[in-house]
């Protein structure tokens, strides 16, 4: 059985923060709720050991009082989304729980800021480029056997960019990632054309960090920050590796990555100049 999802941990951490801000103990809340929320239940919710029910979260927010309407709505959305089946549910035999977490967070987020060192961000992939990346980085036979399905998932994830209220994507990409060679003829040229096309969308910004840039914080590795409107304490950092992925959720740690991304933005070429650089590299491949 998989452990608590990122969504449950975020919800539990915020509920505990609200309680702590009021100086209430678990016993205090149980007493104020007249026994409807027991100490054991609240502990399980705050530590993400149990999935929350909307009525319990509503009761807690009422007890705590003074919760901003926007934050209240965000926390209730977190709660209700926990029981909703997204489109990715049909791929459960293919996706790891960690990957499902990422897709669900992308679906809920309002902003995504991503720094990529060696590859184009998944939300910007063409089908052929996605296939090469997935096949090349597959380190297990099970993944190798599911490349087609994983390509479908990767392309389906891109719907967050074109939905009614699209996610705002800001990508900083190392120039070296644009110069990688692909086995298939024309794959990288098509991928660069895709970057130029999607980069014209008002909700997408793409910056290129030149290969001749000075040493920078991004050399420590790729990461993505999934943001949730003005509630920065709900933001999550996703760090992917060959075997798994790590989610950074502590507010002070997320702030470190937020600062790192701002430094990368400052070091990279401006958006317009980045588009020119992408076009130049594409022409070199003609």
Q: What is the pLDDT of residue 4?
A: 55
In a shared domain, residues 77 and 100: no
Distance CA 86, CA 103 (A): 9
CATH classification of the domain holding 69: 1.10.260.40
Distance CA 104, CA 116 (A): 21
Tokens of 206: 């793409």
What value, to the nearest 5°, has the Cα angle with vertex 198 and ends 196 and 201?
Answer: 115
Q: Is 89 within a domain?
A: no
The answer to whether the beta carbons of residues 7 and 78 sit under 8 Å apart is yes
Q: Is 1 within a domain?
A: no
Distance CA 261, CA 266 (A): 9
Residue 3: partners with Cβ closer than 8 Å, 6 or more residues away:
97
In a shared domain, residues 69 and 109: no
Q: Is 90 within a domain?
A: no
Identify the CA nearest to 165 among candidates 126, 125, 202, 122: 202
Q: What is the pLDDT of residue 231?
A: 67
In a shared domain, residues 154 and 268: yes
Total domain count, the chain: 2
Per-residue pLDDT of the chain (286 residues; tens, 9 = 90+): 344 577 777 788 889 889 999 999 999 988 988 888 899 999 988 888 788 888 999 999 999 988 888 888 888 877 876 656 678 878 878 888 888 889 988 988 899 999 999 999 999 999 999 999 999 988 777 777 899 999 999 999 999 999 999 999 999 999 999 999 888 889 999 999 999 999 999 999 999 999 999 889 999 999 999 998 766 678 899 999 887 889 998 889 999 999 999 999 999 999 999 999 999 999 998 7
Task: State the maximum Cα–Cα separation within the chain, in Å, rounded to a whole number.
Answer: 72
In a shared domain, residues 112 and 74: no
Dihedral over Cα of 32, 37, 38, 41: its sign: negative
Q: Is 254 within a domain?
A: yes
In a shared domain, residues 64 and 153: no
Residue with tokens 């008002």: 202
Among candidate residues 81, 113, 136, the one where a domain is terminated: 81
In a shared domain, residues 63 and 170: no
Identify the CA nearest to 113 among candidates 1, 205, 14, 220: 205
Q: What is the pLDDT of residue 229?
A: 75
DSSP bridge pairs for 245 = 240
Torsion of CA 238, 242, 244, 246, to 10 degrees: -30
What value, to the nearest 5°, has the Cα angle with vertex 21 and ends 19 and 27?
Answer: 35
Q: Is 88 within a domain?
A: no
Q: What is the pLDDT of residue 10?
A: 79
Do β-strands 223-227 and 168-174 pair in parallel, antiparallel, or remain unpaired?
unpaired
In a shared domain, residues 130 and 174: yes
In a shared domain, residues 234 and 271: yes
In a shared domain, residues 60 and 187: no
Among candidate residues 81, 107, 125, the one where a domain is terminated: 81
In a shared domain, residues 116 and 76: no
Q: What is the pLDDT of residue 156?
A: 96
Q: What is the pLDDT of residue 2?
A: 43
Domain around 169:
96-284
DSSP bridge pairs for 207 = 172
Rounded to two decimals, what is the model's pTM?
A: 0.82
Q: What is the pLDDT of residue 1?
A: 33
Residue with tokens 């997408």: 204
Distance CA 262, CA 260 (A): 5
In a shared domain, residues 63 and 171: no
Among candidate residues 31, 55, 81, the one where a domain is terminated: 81
In a shared domain, residues 66 and 191: no
Q: Is 60 within a domain?
A: yes
Q: Is 25 within a domain?
A: yes
Q: Is 154 within a domain?
A: yes
Residue 117 three-state SS: coil
CATH classification of the domain holding 145: 3.30.870
**Could you please report the per-residue DSSP string of 49-63?**
SSPPPHHHHHHHHHH
Tokens of 22: 């009021």
């Amino acid at each position: 059985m998989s452990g608590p999802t990122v969504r449950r941990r975020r919800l539990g951490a915020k509920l505990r923060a609200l309680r702590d801000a009021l100086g209430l103990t678990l016993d205090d809340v149980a007493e104020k709720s007249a026994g409807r929320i027991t100490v054991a239940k609240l502990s399980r919710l705050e530590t993400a050991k149990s999935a929350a029910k909307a009525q319990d979260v509503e009761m807690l927010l009422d007890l705590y009082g003074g919760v901003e309407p926007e934050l209240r709505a965000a926390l209730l959305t977190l709660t209700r989304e926990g029981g909703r089946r997204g489109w990715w549910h049909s791929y459960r035999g293919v996706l790891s729980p960690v990957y499902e977490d990422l897709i669900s967070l992308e679906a809920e987020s309002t902003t995504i800021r991503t720094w990529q060192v060696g590859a184009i961000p998944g939300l910007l992939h063409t089908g052929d480029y996605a296939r090469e990346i997935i096949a090349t980085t597959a380190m297990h036979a099970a993944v190798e056997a599911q490349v087609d399905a994983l390509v479908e998932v990767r392309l389906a994830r891109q719907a967050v960019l074109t939905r009614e209220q699209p996610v705002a994507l800001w990508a900083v990409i190392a120039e070296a990632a644009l110069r990688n060679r692909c086995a298939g003829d024309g794959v990288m040229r098509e991928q660069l054309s895709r970057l130029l096309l999607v980069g014209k969308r008002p909700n997408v910004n793409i910056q290129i960090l030149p290969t001749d840039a000075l040493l920078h914080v991004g050399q420590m590795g790729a990461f993505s920050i999934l943001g949730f409107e003005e509630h920065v304490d709900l933001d999550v950092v996703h760090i992917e590796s060959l075997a798994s992925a790590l989610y950074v959720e502590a507010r002070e740690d997320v702030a470190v990555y937020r600062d790192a991304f701002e430094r990368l933005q400052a070091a990279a070429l401006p958006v317009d100049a980045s588009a020119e650089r992408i076009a130049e590299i594409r022409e070199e491949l003609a």
